[in-house]
């Protein structure tokens, strides 16, 4: 093989393929031939070019595409570049170059590399997600989602106009409501909606980060900056509406069982009950979700996520009688204790907060709830092992039947009451298995399953709760405080209403800006100041029917 000049031979055939458009899918195809679409995951056009993982996948799909062509199929095998995003913008910020320039330069380099490999793409169909002609259609798709709701009976999305007609029939005051009031109601149903939610806020990057962009140490993957949890108004996708369909439809796909199991665990369907615990001396109730409502007689304290919206309302001015020193975190007042603990929690990722082996921490809010089954007052804590993103963001703590609750109860000198009889010889701490109910009033002697049915009936009869289903699956947050991304096709009316851009006016293109840098800060409490807030007025404001 010493005489094999692979460079010359490969260049010869690559020129031939390019000159003759060998792999181009014709506009007019032979309808007698079967179609075959081979789509690769679009690479991100980074400054370092391709890495070994790119051809690892692309060569495999290229083999399939070539094989199908030889079998007489009409093959469409395009290539594109997923070119918007944080890495491109951050690279541009660091080097003082507009992200469009660096992105186009990187795409040109990667195209050269892909052609050098000899892959059989249809090079006439190369696209970039930064092309307005492309993201016009991602904006169009967003509008279809925004203008839809999930019909529970039909188990599918339907136009929001159908819901409006339904609300008009059911609500005699609908047409007397202001447009803002109507939109506030519709926001509770739209598949794309705005909500204030806890997010990963990186002040040094000036943006929200996805969980996948945050390391286990609670720092940004890009730049290694500290990341904090804080509530911000964000665009959300109501994927939880599809939770049951997602799980049931796994039976329709030919996937390996381990993959299906991973998907079911990701969806995380749990049957149980919602229970309302009255707050002692106040009108508020704390709602929890539990898969073990049968253990309610052993609930000796409650824990709220530090971000829970009820916390601020519950905190009194001074520590109440009965507060133990271990509960205060060394603070002089409940407010000081809660604020200090929240600051500690903000610097932790959700993954870090859920590590089982971590020492249990928390502080007493100064408020007491009432266990509806026993009538006893129980203290309300905040602790980082409870997440706002799962269940209701609050738990009834039953240390006798839950290991984390047991550890917390030991650390804070809280009562432990078993509600399920462990088997003879059991020497552990929390017992999580089956057995007859004990210390549980009218449930005593029942199995776990029987006790669940009986306590749910009691909760529904007394108005303290109901049977329900919940999921680990959470609505998808998909907005960022960055410049380099396709703009949302949304306008905001003077009254605060969210108004979709008319489809005929798409695409909403990015404004040309010399200063596209995010407002970075070292202050975790600094308000977000996205680059587009500095865009020219001609882009930020439009006039419709005389209203600006």
pLDDT at position 66, please?
96
Q: Which two tokens stand for residue 73?
A: 């199929």
For residue 101, what are the contacts with CB-CB under 8 A and spacing of at least 6?
92
pLDDT at position 1, please?
60
What domains, with CATH codes, occur in the chain? 6-130 (3.40.50.620), 140-247+477-540 (no CATH), 270-470 (3.90.740.10)
Dist CA 287 CA 396 (whole Å): 9
pLDDT at position 548, please?
67
Per the prediction, the chain carries an average pLDDT of: 92
Phi-psi region of 322 (alpha: psi -120 to 50; beta: other; left: phi over 0): left
pLDDT of 456-477, one tens digit each?
999 999 999 999 998 889 899 8
Q: Which of 483, 514, 537 is nearest to 206 (CA)?
A: 483
Dist CA 470 CA 287 (whole Å): 13
Read off the pTM. 0.83
What distance lies between CA 32 and its chain's CA centroid?
A: 45
Q: Which of 141-155, 300-314, 525-539 shows the lowest mean pLDDT across its residues?
A: 525-539
pLDDT tier for residue 4 given thresholds of 50, 70 and 90: confident
Mean pLDDT to the nearest integer, 16-26: 91
pLDDT tier for residue 357 given thresholds of 50, 70 and 90: low
Q: Is 232 a residue whose pLDDT tops 90?
A: no
Q: Which two tokens stand for residue 198?
A: 């806890």
Dist CA 153 CA 150 (whole Å): 9
Q: Is 211 a residue whose pLDDT tops 80?
A: no
Dist CA 501 CA 318 (whole Å): 51
Residue with tokens 């395009």: 78
Check if the beta carbon of residue 143 is closer than 8 Å to that of residue 500: yes
Q: Which two tokens stand for residue 234?
A: 């964000």
pLDDT at position 359, please?
83
pLDDT of 317-340, one tens digit each?
999 999 999 999 999 999 999 999
pLDDT at position 47, please?
78
pLDDT at position 374, please?
96
- Residue 507: cis peptide before it, omega within 30 degrees of 0: yes
Q: Is 511 a residue whose pLDDT tops 80?
A: yes
DSSP codes of every residue in 269-335: -EEEEEEEEEBTTSS-EEEEEES-GGGGGG--EEEE-TT-TTHHHH--SSPPTT--GGGTTT-SSHH
Q: Which of 41-50, 139-148, 180-189, 458-467 shows the lowest mean pLDDT across its residues?
A: 41-50
For residue 147, what are the contacts with CB-CB under 8 A and spacing of at least 6?
159, 160, 161, 190, 500
pLDDT at position 337, please?
96
Mean pLDDT to the nearest integer, 483-493: 93
Q: Is 161 a residue whose pLDDT tops 90?
A: yes
Which of the pair, 177 or 389, is modelled with greater confidence? 177
Q: Is 170 helix (H, G, I), strand (E, B) or coil?
A: helix
Dist CA 121 CA 400 (whole Å): 62
Q: Is 479 a residue whose pLDDT tops 90?
A: no
User: 274: which strand partners?
Assistant: 289, 466
Mean pLDDT to the nearest integer, 535-540: 91
pLDDT of 371-381, one tens digit each?
999 999 999 99
Q: Is 117 a residue whose pLDDT tops 80?
A: yes
Check if the beta carbon of residue 363 is closer than 8 Å to that of residue 343: no
Dist CA 42 CA 30 (whole Å): 28
pLDDT at position 435, please?
94
pLDDT at position 330, please?
94
pLDDT of 79-111, one tens digit each?
999 999 888 888 888 888 899 999 999 999 999
Q: Which of 17-31, 266-280, 496-510 shows the lowest mean pLDDT across its residues?
A: 17-31
Q: For residue 464, with 0-12 CB atoms within 10 Å meaning exposed, 13-18 middle and 19 or more buried, which class applies? A: buried
**In terms of DSSP bridges, do strands 80-81 and 127-128 run parallel, antiparallel, or are they unpaired?**
parallel
Q: Is 48 a residue whose pLDDT tops 70?
A: yes
Given CA atoms 440, 442, 448, 454 in this order, what sign does their dihedral have?
Answer: negative
pLDDT of 278-292, one tens digit each?
999 999 999 999 999
Q: Which of 275, 294, 271 is nearest to 419 (CA)?
A: 294
Check if the beta carbon of residue 149 is closer than 8 Å to that of residue 242: no
> How are the residues of the chain apportioned to helix, strand and coil, as percentages rounded to the nearest 5?
35, 20, 45
pLDDT at position 356, please?
67
CA distances in angstroms from 432 to 353, 356, 426, listed in the order given: 22, 16, 11
User: 302: which strand partners?
Assistant: 380, 396
pLDDT tier for residue 347 given thresholds of 50, 70 and 90: confident
Q: Is 404 helix (H, G, I), strand (E, B) or coil?
A: helix
Mean pLDDT to the nearest integer, 125-134: 95
Q: Which of 91, 93, 102 is nearest to 518 (CA)?
A: 93
Q: Which of 167-181, 202-216, 316-330, 349-363 shows the lowest mean pLDDT across its residues?
A: 349-363
Q: Which two tokens stand for residue 154?
A: 């039909």
Q: Which of 112-116, 151-155, 439-443, 525-529 shows the lowest mean pLDDT across its residues?
A: 525-529
């Amino acid at each position: 093989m010493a005489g094999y000049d692979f460079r010359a031979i490969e260049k010869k055939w690559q020129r031939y393929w390019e000159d003759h458009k060998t792999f181009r899918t014709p506009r007019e195809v032979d309808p007698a031939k079967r179609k075959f679409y081979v789509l690769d995951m679009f690479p991100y056009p980074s400054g370092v070019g391709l890495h070994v993982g790119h051809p690892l996948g692309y060569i495999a799909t290229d083999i399939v595409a070539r094989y199908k062509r030889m079998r007489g199929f009409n093959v469409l095998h395009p290539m594109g570049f997923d070119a918007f995003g944080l890495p491109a913008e951050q690279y541009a910020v660091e080097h003082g170059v507009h992200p469009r320039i660096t992105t186009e330069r990187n795409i040109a380099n990667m195209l050269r590399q892909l052609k050098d490999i000899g892959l059989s793409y249809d090079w006439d169909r190369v696209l970039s997600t930064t092309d307005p002609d492309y993201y016009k259609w991602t904006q169009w798709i967003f509008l279809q989602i925004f203008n839809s709701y999930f019909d529970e009976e039909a188990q599918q999305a339907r136009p929001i106009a159908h819901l409006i007609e339904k609300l008009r029939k059911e609500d005699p005051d609908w047409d007397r409501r202001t447009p803002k009031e109507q939109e506030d109601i519709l926001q509770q149903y739209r598949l794309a909606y705005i909500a204030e939610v806890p997010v990963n806020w990186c002040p040094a990057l000036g943006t929200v980060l996805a969980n996948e962009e945050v390391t286990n140490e609670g720092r940004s993957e890009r730049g290694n900056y500290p990341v904090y949890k804080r509530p911000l108004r964000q665009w959300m996708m109501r994927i939880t509406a599809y939770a049951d369909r997602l799980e049931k439809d796994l039976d329709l796909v030919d996937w390996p069982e381990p993959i299906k199991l991973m998907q079911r665990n990701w969806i995380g369907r749990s049957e149980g009950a919602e229970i309302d615990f009255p707050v002692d001396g106040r009108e508020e109730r704390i709602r929890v979700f539990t898969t073990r409502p049968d253990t309610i007689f052993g609930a000796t304290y409650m824990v709220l996520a530090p971000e829970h919206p009820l916390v601020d309302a519950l905190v009194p001015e001074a520590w109440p009688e009965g507060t133990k020193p271990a509960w205060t975190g060394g603070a002089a007042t409940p407010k000081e204790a809660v604020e200090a603990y929240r600051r500690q929690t903000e610097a932790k990722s959700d993954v870090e907060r859920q590590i089982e082996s971590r020492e249990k921490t928390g502080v007493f809010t100064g408020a007491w709830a009432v266990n509806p089954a026993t009538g006893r007052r129980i203290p309300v804590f905040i602790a980082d092992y409870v997440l706002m993103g799962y269940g209701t963001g609050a738990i009834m703590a039953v240390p006798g039947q839950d290991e984390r609750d047991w550890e917390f109860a030991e650390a804070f000198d809280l009562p432990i009451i078993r509600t399920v009889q462990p088997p003879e010889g059991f020497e552990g701490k929390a017992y999580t298995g089956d057995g007859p109910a004990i210390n549980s009033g009218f449930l005593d002697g029942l199995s776990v399953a029987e006790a669940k049915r009986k306590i749910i009936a009691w909760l529904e009869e007394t108005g303290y709760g109901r049977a329900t289903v919940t999921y680990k699956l959470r609505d998808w947050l998909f907005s960022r405080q960055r410049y380099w991304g396709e703009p949302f096709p949304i306008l905001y009316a003077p009254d605060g209403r969210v108004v979709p851009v008319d489809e005929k006016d798409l695409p909403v293109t990015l404004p040309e800006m010399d200063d596209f840098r995010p407002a970075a800060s070292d202050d975790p409490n600094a308000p977000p100041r996205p680059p587009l807030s500095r865009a020219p007025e001609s882009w930020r404001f439009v006039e419709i029917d005389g209203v600006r």
